[in-house]
Amino acid sequence: MYNKVLKLALIVGILSGYISAMEIVGKIKVKGSSPHTYLVIEDNKTHKSYTISNAKDFNLINRQNEILKIEAKIIKKAVGPGFPAVIEVLEIKESK
């Protein structure tokens, strides 16, 4: 019985990672004032900004003002104005 519950929990955990993945098409921007700057992607449809937690992994700092289509998952929800949701980029699908 314990093994079945453990297997079910593992499957649900794995699937929840895939379900929470989302595609965003938007422009890469730097926001904030020095020295408190951060990299975001601004969604073209909703005009919401998402802070990118792993920008260095994809060298996104050098892709400012490019429109990208990315697959990402939310790791922290938005708190309010000035505190956008934090995402982790899983894949860059295309650049326009």
Cα dihedral across residues 78, 83, 84, 86: positive or negative: negative
Give per-residue pLDDT as tens, 14-66. 555 555 699 999 999 999 998 999 999 999 999 999 999 999 999 999 999 99
Read off the pTM.
0.76
Q: Both tokens of residue 24?
A: 């965003």
The torsion angle over the Cα atoms of residues 79, 75, 21 and 71, rounded to 10 degrees, is 90
Domains of the chain: residue spans and CATH: 22-95 (2.40.50)
**pLDDT given for residue 95 in this prediction:** 78
The span from the CA of 66 to the CA of 87, in Å, is 18
pLDDT at 8 over 90: no
